[in-house]
Amino acid sequence: MHELTLALNIVQILEEQARSRQFNRVKQVWIDIGALSCVEETSLRFGLLSATRNTLAEGALFHLVTVAARGWCHGCCQAFETRQHVANCPVCHSAQIQHERADALHIRELEVE
Using alpha carbons, list the distances in angstroms from residue 93 to 68, 85, 89, 96: 19, 14, 4, 9
> Mind listing the domains of the chain with CATH numbers?
2-112 (3.30.2320.80)
pTM: 0.85
Residue 1: pLDDT above 70? no
Query: What is the band of 51 on the pLDDT scale with cuts at 50, 70, 90?
Result: very high
pLDDT at site 86:
84
Q: Which of 62, 61, 64 is nearest to 37 (CA)?
A: 64
User: Residue 81 pairs with which residues in a beta bridge?
Assistant: 70
Distance (Å, rounded) from C-alpha 104 to C-alpha 95?
24
Give the Cα separation of 25 and 60 in Å (integer): 9
